[in-house]
Structure 1
Amino acid sequence: MSIDAQVKAALDELEVPYTRRDEGQYLVTLEGTNRLNTPTWLLVREQSVFVQAFVCRQPDENHVGVYRYMLQRNARLYGVHYALDRVGDIHLIGRIPLVAVGPDEMDRVLGQTLEAADGDFNTFLELGFAESIKREHAWRSERGESLANLMAFEHLFE
């Protein structure tokens, strides 16, 4: 069975929503809570399956704090790690060796990707976008708009 077929079979077995873009290219949708979904690419390469998930855009502020958090968090992640793209956006990237491609390893790596992207999302927003969040809260408050999706950051408004 080809690696492409193994990836497809593993995703089907895990019942993970995905779109096959081309041979060896899968866009998986990982559904979360803090970050509603995390689009994650699985790309079959010569020696591994490359994993890449967009997490957050480049922070507006406190770059040192955000990068420190990323580096410390990397020490506790399995199969993926935080990295920056050429414009400074935050991604999770990793590689699954071809010999390990199967439902168990795919579940571990995709599970870690979801746990990190979803679990760290509000931390990234708080560290890198606190002033924008405060401005948004003030703007919504002045206009009587809903504050529901800002409640995770209410400690910033005191």
Structure 2
Amino acid sequence: MTRRPVEELDAVIAAALADAELEHEHPAPGQWLVDLPGTKKLKTVCGLVVGEHALRVEAFVCRQPDENREQLWTYLLQHNARMYGVAFSIDAVGDIYLTGRLPHAAVTAEELDRVLGAVLSYADDHFNTMLEIGFGTSIRREWAWRVKRGESLRNLEAFADFADPDRRPRSGA
């Protein structure tokens, strides 16, 4: 398989990002930072790095969980088998990423659109569940503190079903 030069791949990436109207930075040849706007996770920054044989795709999703690490990692690993182009992974401290590689020959505008769409979908679709599993105690504590003080719950509303004691199902009902 022939290697495509960085300049050629950069041109493909630049055109694809412009067509998709995605905000991005291009700090150096072969290096890109792309802002993917979401709904649950408001923004996922995805790095694209042209390597010797492949384009590396990497996006930070969530910091290491405070609790239930094994349960969260099991949840993510069970999704990996059904995912396209990227997979969940963790770094040395347990922070969660989406990572993948595309061979140079596969770097086209259409494939970049698919892979960036996959990154956005997986980060966004699973974000609230990841927070519930890995940070549920902290979220419930924050909810109770805000209720007690009369503070806004607006940015916690996505977690109301498990954080608000009045919405939680009661056992024996």
Note the 1:13-92 alignment, pairs <5 A: 13-92=19-98
Deviates more, 1:95-104 or 1:26-35: 95-104
Aligned pair count reads 158
Task: Say whether residues 1:140 and 2:146 are aligned partners.
Answer: yes
Q: Percent identity?
A: 51
RMSD: 1.0
Q: Partners in 2 of 1:66 and 1:42 — Cα distance?
A: 26
> Match for 1:109 among 90, 115, 120?
115
Q: Partners in 2 of 1:124 and 1:57 — Cα distance?
A: 10
Structure 2 stretches of 5 or more lacking a match? 1-6, 166-173
Q: Partners in 2 of 1:14 and 1:142 — Cα distance?
A: 45
The answer to whether the 8 Å contact 1:18/1:28 transfers is yes
Secondary structure of the structure 2 residue equivalent to 1:51? strand
Secondary structure of the structure 1 residue equivalent to 2:44? strand
Structure 1 stretches of 5 or more lacking a match? none
Instruction: Flag as ranges the 4+ runs of structure 1 deviating above 4 A.
Output: none
The answer to whether the 8 Å contact 1:70/1:82 transfers is yes
Q: Partners in 2 of 1:21 and 1:6 — Cα distance?
A: 16
Q: Give the greater-gyration-radius structure (CA).
A: 2
The answer to whether the 8 Å contact 1:14/1:103 transfers is no
Secondary structure of the structure 2 residue equivalent to 1:60? coil
